[in-house]
Amino acid sequence: AQSVAQPEDQVNVAEGNPLTVKCTYSVSGNPYLFWYVQYPNRGLQFLLKYITGDNLVKGSYGFEAEFNKSQTSFHLKKPSALVSDSALYFCAVRDRADSNYQLIWGAGTKLIIKP
Amino acid sequence: DADVTQTPRNRITKTGKRIMLECSQTKGHDRMYWYRQDPGLGLRLIYYSFDVKDINKGEISDGYSVSRQAQAKFSLSLESAIPNQTALYFCATSGPSGEQYFGPGTRLTVT
């Protein structure tokens, strides 16, 4: 079965430190991979995606993610965290062969950046 | 995102009432989706549509119905609301690579 795992319910990071939010996936074919962010009382916002090419993808607000095919991971990273990065982060994956364009979602990771 | 709008933003209703949530988009996308979000469960797909003639059930369609009135409009109905349908509901559209764009959400409370 296809699935996405975000192993940490919550990640705590001090402001200015690097952050990593983990995501691993299981799909039958080659994946498209996505990260979204949800601020309180807001809808989800698209951050970045991996389609093909360079394994390191850069996105909005200084975030980047690294696709690792052998480890089936797509971890979200940022070199220096800001308090304003505190939010709920979702990883999602789509099988390229899925013509329904359905995304499979992780359960989300709450990121807390402390001043 | 202003490109995807949802109405109402908040709604309190009683058990057994019929309620409709509306979604409009100006992104010109054919694919539209309805999700519900519950704490700790992430997003679960209720229905999705590829065009006005193509409606598909998602993971949790029981108790819900949808209507695709036009390319830009996709509404979700709860025929007879029950308390465990209390949740945050999101509409989304899909771009060519599959990335989805979300509305601001509707917070629904069923008492």
How do residues A14-45 score in pLDDT, each as one tens digit? Answer: 999 999 999 999 988 788 999 999 998 788 99
Distance of CA B6 to the CA centre of its chain: 9
Q: CA of B68 to nearest chain A CA: how many angstroms apart? A: 17
C-alpha to C-alpha distance for A82 and A19, rounded to whole angstroms: 10
B66 in Cβ contact with B34 (< 8 Å): yes
Q: Which of A45, A101, A107 sits opposite B98 (nearest CB)?
A: A101
With CB atoms and an 8 Å threshold, state whether A102 touches B45. yes
Query: Chain B: residue nearest A8 by CA?
Result: B40
Chain B contact set for A94 (CB, 8 A) = 98
Q: In the predicted model, what is the mean pLDDT of residues B12-23? A: 97
Assess whether the previous peptide bond of A7 is cis (omega < 30° from 0): no
Q: CA of B87 to nearest chain A CA: how many angstroms apart? A: 13
Query: How far, in Å, are A22, A100, B40, B104 from residue B33 at the CA level?
Result: 26, 11, 20, 13
What is the CB neighbour count within 10 angstroms for residue A112?
13
- Tens digits of residue pLDDT in B32-75: 999 999 977 789 999 999 989 999 999 899 999 999 999 999 99
Which of A105-109, B9-13, B22-26, B39-43 is predicted least confidently?
A: B39-43
Mutation pick from B41, B100, B106 vs chain A, by most beta carbons of A within 10 Å, is B100
Q: Vertex B59, ends B54 and B64: CA angle to 5°?
A: 70
* Per-residue pLDDT at B7: 96
Q: Show which of residues 52-71 on chain B sit within 8 Å of chain A, judged by CB atoms.
A: 56, 58
Q: CA of B105 to nearest chain A CA: how many angstroms apart? A: 6
Beta strand ranges found along B39-78 (DSSP E): 42-51, 54-57, 64-70, 73-78
* Per-residue pLDDT at A40: 85
Q: Which of A42, A106, A107 sits opposite B104 (nearest CB)?
A: A42
C-alpha to C-alpha distance for A106 and A13, rounded to whole angstroms: 21
